[in-house]
Amino acid sequence: MNAVQEFIAYQRLLQKEIMSVLRTWFLDLGTHTKEKVSYKVPYFYFHGPLGYLKPVVDGVDLGLIQGKSIHRTYPQVVIKGSKGHGFIRLHSLAELEEQEEELRKILNEAAILNQYLYNQKTKKR
């Protein structure tokens, strides 16, 4: 069991269920996806920091590092702070399943954006 799996295992039942599904979706993005606990929450990397899962009292925040860019297409991504990170708060497993298609699209778009930004950065070198 790695650090992210341990982190999820110690959460309350609701958060554990939601985080387990979201973790699987992050890892489904491709072989370049890496995970680790950073800033006391599970972080996922795909050609750089992609997103995180943060347990909150009434559910889980699906955090997106490029939230500001994703928000333009998907207004349900709430922008927080000056760095442009965004999140979507999920309150139940039923809500997660109901929004699966849209959430997977958001994760895919975030991964594509990360890969594009990574490629642009490596071209300059």
Residue 40 — pLDDT band, cuts 50, 70, 90?
very high
Instruction: Enumerate domains of the chain plus CATH numbers.
Output: 3-120 (3.90.1150.200)
**123 has pLDDT over 90:** no
**124 has pLDDT over 80:** no
**82 has pLDDT over 80:** no
Q: What is residue 121's predicted lDDT score, i.e. its pLDDT?
A: 83
Backbone angles phi, psi at 8, to 5 degrees: -65, -40
Average pLDDT over residues 62-88: 90
Q: What is residue 125's predicted lDDT score, i.e. its pLDDT?
A: 62
Task: Please choose, from the candidates 65, 40, 53, 113, the residue with its C-alpha nearest in 3D space to the C-alpha of residue 89.
Answer: 53
Q: Longest Cα pair distance anywhere in the chain, in angstroms?
A: 46
**39 has pLDDT over 70:** yes
**83 has pLDDT over 90:** no
CB-CB contact of 86 with 78 (8 Å): yes
Residue 34 — pLDDT band, cuts 50, 70, 90?
very high
Task: Please choose, from the candidates 64, 116, 122, 125, the residue with its C-alpha nearest in 3D space to the C-alpha of residue 90.
Answer: 64
Percentage of the chain modeled with pLDDT above 90: 84
Task: Please choose, from the candidates 66, 109, 110, the residue with its C-alpha nearest in 3D space to the C-alpha of residue 85.
Answer: 66
